[in-house]
């Protein structure tokens, strides 16, 4: 069958559209919930990642819950919802070497040093009930998801996700 110049060009454009369509490069979605128990919260606990190592995370007043703990390498979209009724939260993604890693913490600010942590992106300060999204191209490895509102990380607002 002879396509001719116009037919060949149309076929080429159609082929490119298929290669770049959302379904061809969709990746995976991780649904993330930023939660807290509400009311007056005790942020004095030292529940940051790698600190103390044997925390009873059920005692945490704040947290991050991801619906997947392992995802394939490539495009990963984090659909983040702040389920709090009265507290602003955020989610930051940073690579970590292993499960015992400690993120670089700035004590007098009560937060992680984002630049030193290797911050790859974030869904910034979400008001209660609000949502946001972040899409990253992730290589195999381990990543921390954490809230960096002062006091929240050390109160236990972090989790990890493995990329394979």
Q: For position 133, which CATH number holds?
A: 2.60.40.420
87 assigned to some structural domain:
yes
Is pTM, for the whole model, over 0.85?
A: no
17 assigned to some structural domain:
no
Tens-digit pLDDT profile for residues 117-127: 999 999 999 99
Tens-digit pLDDT profile for residues 102-156: 999 999 999 999 999 999 999 999 999 999 999 999 999 999 999 999 999 999 9
SS3 79: strand
Do residues 105 and 153 touch, judged by C-beta distance below 8 A? yes
Domains in the chain, number: 1
Residue 129 neighbours by CB distance under 10 Å? 11
**Residue 66 phi, psi (nearest 5):** -110, 140
What is the length of the chain? 164
Q: Which two tokens stand for residue 33?
A: 């919930």
The whole domain housing 63 covers: 26-163
15 assigned to some structural domain:
no
18 assigned to some structural domain:
no
């Amino acid at each position: 069958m002879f396509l001719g110049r116009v037919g060949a060009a149309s076929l080429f454009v159609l082929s490119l559209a298929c290669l770049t369509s959302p379904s061809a490069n969709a990746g995976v979605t991780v649904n993330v919930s930023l939660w807290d128990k509400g009311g007056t919260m005790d942020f004095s606990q030292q529940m940051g990642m790698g600190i103390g190592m044997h925390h009873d995370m059920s005692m945490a007043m704040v947290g991050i819950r991801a619906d997947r703990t392992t995802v394939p390498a490539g495009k990963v979209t984090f659909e983040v919802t702040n389920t709090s009724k009265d507290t602003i939260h955020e989610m930051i993604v940073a690579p970590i070497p292993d499960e015992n890693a400690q993120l670089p913490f700035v004590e007098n600010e009560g937060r992680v040093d984002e630049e030193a942590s290797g911050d790859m992106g974030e869904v910034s300060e979400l008001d209660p009930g609000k949502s946001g999204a972040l899409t990253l191209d992730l290589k195999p490895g381990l990543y921390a998801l954490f809230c960096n509102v002062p006091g929240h990380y050390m109160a236990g607002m972090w989790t990890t996700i493995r990329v394979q």
